[in-house]
Structure 1
């Protein structure tokens, strides 16, 4: 993630991009419990990046408001902070959870 953003001149998005990748991949591994996942990184604009994780589960994520005692449940809350938008889309064999970041002139 960091290398792709550096190549695109979007270093200012590196920390947020790494956080989003970490949380979306962790959620897919933890909740989808399938044998594989796929990470997608698209650049739909000069300073826009869309990060997605595809898994084979049709169960959509549900954002929660965890309390201080909860061990987990903060993934989508953490993704929502830096993301301009995030969402899910059902696919023929699973789903894609994605988040968009904007930097530079598109921020």
Structure 2
């Protein structure tokens, strides 16, 4: 975990942030001449903006949740599927197609 402290707030630079209007900001991996992490945000932005400037102009910065791993996603879906089968909630593709076609009419 790469961290940076600004105004007493610890920022985990390995995760992204979202500002108050919904723009996602990510650390570019670089630093300004003053040693501040450079963030890039929005669509197509390639020029880094120092984190303190982003914090001042667009903050507060809300940490984005970490992405789910493929292993965790598979475990959750598999558990739900197995529980559905055990409970008798199974149908063939043909049954599904008929059921959903009726729902649309």
- Under a length normalisation based on structure 2, what TM-score does the superposition of the two structures give? 0.26
More strand by percentage? 1
TM-score by length of 1: 0.25
Q: Which has the higher contact order (CA 8 A, sep 6+)?
A: 1
